[in-house]
Amino acid sequence: MLKCMYKNEYEFNIDTVNNTITWNNRTDKLKQFTDGITGEIISIAGIYGYSQAIKSYSYFTPNIFKKDITRCNNWDKLNKLFRELI
C-alpha cells in the first residue's frame, strides 16, 4: 500500500496488489495515462463517476503527475508505476 501526498495538500493511497487508488474516501481502479507519441506513462488517476456540477462523467482525482507527488512511503514502488503498465 502506497501512502502519498499530492502537492502537499491531498493524501491518497494506491493499493499495488489490487491496482486501486483511494482519494477522499473513494476507491476505484487505478488508471495510467501514456504519452501518445513516446508511450511513456505520464500520469495516474482513477476515481471516475458522474458529476452533478458538470453533468457528465469525469475523474474525481486529478491527473497525478510524478512531479506533483510531494511525499510517498515507498518511492521505489511509486516510480515503478510510472515505468511499467499494470
pLDDT at 7: 95
Class of residue 53 by CB neighbours under 10 A (exposed 0-12, middle 13-18, buried 19+): exposed
C-alpha–C-alpha distance, residues 26 and 49, integer Å: 10
Q: Which residue has the higher pLDDT, 55 or 77?
A: 77
**pTM beyond cutoff 0.85:** no
pLDDT at 21: 92
Answer whether residue 9 shows pLDDT above 90. yes
Class of residue 18 by CB neighbours under 10 A (exposed 0-12, middle 13-18, buried 19+): exposed
28-61: pLDDT as tens digits:
899 999 999 999 999 998 776 666 666 766 666 7
Mean pLDDT of the chain: 89
* Amino acid at site 34: T
